[in-house]
């Protein structure tokens, strides 16, 4: 079943520093899942819709999207809106990760159907916890065994 397959994390983040930090912290938090990083909204939509440069991609299992809001070309909120507006992709969990703590924007994102809204600078313990909970919900999170962590 698809459920048994490990989740793929799509990280939509244009700042390479932020992306790197997220990867590090996810890893430190114990996630071994594949993290694919795209740097703008259009790429994200292409990836999800198997279009553009990702036209030939083969879906490898359930997807979790970590989405920045301030993105070149198409911004994060619009990406979120389109994901949630499309029935095929509407169920994909989306974690919004942004520098804005504007309540209106937070509200807007939740209205559009984001799962979690995290404000940068990220308190990574909380962030990882949120990702884990979503993963548990999806039951697709690949968790390192203890010995593997040690080895790492």
Partner 1 sequence: MKLSANHKINVGFGSVLALLLAIAWYIHDTNQRFMQLTELQVQGLEALERLTQFLAHVNDAETSQRAFLLTGKQEYLRPYEAARKDIARELTELDRLAAEQPNLKQALARLRPTVNSMLTVLERAIVLRRGNARAGLEMALQSVLTRQGERDMDAIRTAIDDMRYSEQSSISRWMADADEQGGRTHWLVTLVGPIAFVGIVLGWWLAHRHLTQQRVAIRALHTSEERFQLLVDGIQDYAIVMLDANGNVLDWNAASERILGYLAEEAVGKKFSRFYPLELIEAGVPDRMLEDAALGRCEREVWHVRSDGSRFWANVILTPINDEEGKLQGYSKITRDLTERRAADALIRQLNNDLERRVELRTAELARVNAELAQRNQENELFVFGVSHDLRSPLVNLQGFSEELGLACLELRELLTKTGIPPDLGRQGLTILDDEMLVSARFIQTAVLRLNNVIDALLRLSRAGRVEYQWQEVDLTRIVRDVVDSFGATISQKNAVIEVGRLGTVWGDATALELVFANLIDNALKYLAPDRRGRIEIGLATRAEVHNGKIPKICCQVRDNGLGIALDGQNKLFHVFQRLHPEAAPGEGMGLVLTRRIVERHRGRIWVESQPNGGSTFFVDLPTQPHEAPSAADVSDLEKVSAHG
| Residues engaged in binding partner 1 (CB under 8 A) | 15, 17-18, 21, 24, 70, 99-104, 120-122, 124
Question: Which of these, 103, 25, 107, 101, lies nearest to 66 by C-alpha position?
Answer: 25
Nearer to partner 1 among residue 125 and residue 148 (C-beta)? 125
Nearer to partner 1 among residue 48 and residue 109 (C-beta)? 109
Q: Tell me if 73 sits within 8 A of 41, measured CB to CB.
A: yes
Nearer to partner 1 among residue 18 and residue 57 (C-beta)? 18
Go through 92-111 and write b for each residue having 16 or more CB atoms within 10 A of its CB, e for each that does not: bbbbbbbebeeeebbebbee
Least separation, in Å, of the C-beta of 25 and partner 1? 8
Cβ–Cβ contacts within 10 Å for residue 151, how many?
A: 8
Least separation, in Å, of the C-beta of 47 and partner 1? 23
Nearer to partner 1 among residue 17 and residue 56 (C-beta)? 17
Least separation, in Å, of the C-beta of 18 and partner 1? 6
């Amino acid at each position: 079943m698809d459920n048994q397959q490990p989740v793929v994390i799509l990280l939509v983040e244009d700042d390479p520093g932020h992306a790197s930090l997220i990867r590090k912290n996810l890893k430190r938090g114990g996630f071994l899942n594949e993290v694919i990083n795209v740097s703008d909204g259009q790429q994200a939509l292409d990836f999800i819709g198997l279009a553009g440069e990702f036209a030939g991609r083969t879906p490898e299992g359930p997807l979790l999207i970590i989405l920045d809001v301030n993105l070149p070309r198409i911004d994060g909120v619009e990406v979120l809106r389109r994901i949630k507006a499309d029935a095929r992709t509407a169920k994909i969990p989306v974690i919004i990760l942004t520098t804005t703590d504007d309540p209106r924007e937070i509200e807007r994102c939740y209205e559009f159907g984001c799962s979690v809204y995290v404000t940068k600078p990220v308190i990574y313990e909380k962030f990882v916890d949120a990702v884990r909970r979503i993963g548990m919900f999806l039951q697709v999170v690949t968790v390192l065994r203890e010995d593997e962590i040690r080895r790492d």
